[in-house]
Structure 1
């Protein structure tokens, strides 16, 4: 029998447009790796360019933490160019 931490590792949160977000965090549409959107638990999952989509939780981060992560990735890319 798996312990609770193993079950959580294999769990992927997802929600469709128009449904409530089960978890606060950064989400991405399944059909397109961009754009990420921060959605609070209980908010209605948004449409993407006016179309319904299924969203997958990328990471449970506060918005500022995600901005810092993206900024550091952007700096690494700029240095490589």
Structure 2
């Protein structure tokens, strides 16, 4: 009989170590992101979705809190 393995062990989730990204790029991980121009205005962005613009322009986004399986690297 074939031995069964949990799906999570056989297919570990890749967690990106990226903590910054730019408008128009794909979001590397689920979490709360804030533009560097206004850190008081965070947004939740889902992994794989396009990073939004802020104030009609392109900005750099900083990851404030990740909701991946692993904690952010220090």
- TM-score range, shorter-chain basis? 0.5 to 0.7
Aligned residue for 1:58, secondary structure, equals: strand
What's the CA shift string for 1:12-71, capped at 9, x where partnerless? 61110000000100000012112110000000000001110000000014xxxxxxxxxx
> Does residue 1:14 correspond to 2:20, yes or no?
yes
CA root-mean-square deviation: 1.8
Higher RCO (CA-CA < 8 Å; seq separation 6+): 2
Ranges in structure 1 where 5+ consecutive residues have no aligned partner: 1-10, 62-81
| Structure with greater helix share of residues | 1
TM-score (norm 1): 0.58
TM-score (norm 2): 0.63
Structure 1 equivalent of residue 14 of structure 2: none
Aligned residue for 1:55, secondary structure, equals: strand
Ranges in structure 2 where 5+ consecutive residues have no aligned partner: 1-16, 68-74
Runs in 1 of length 4+ with deviation above 3 angstroms? none
Return the index of the structure with the highest Cα Rg.
Answer: 2
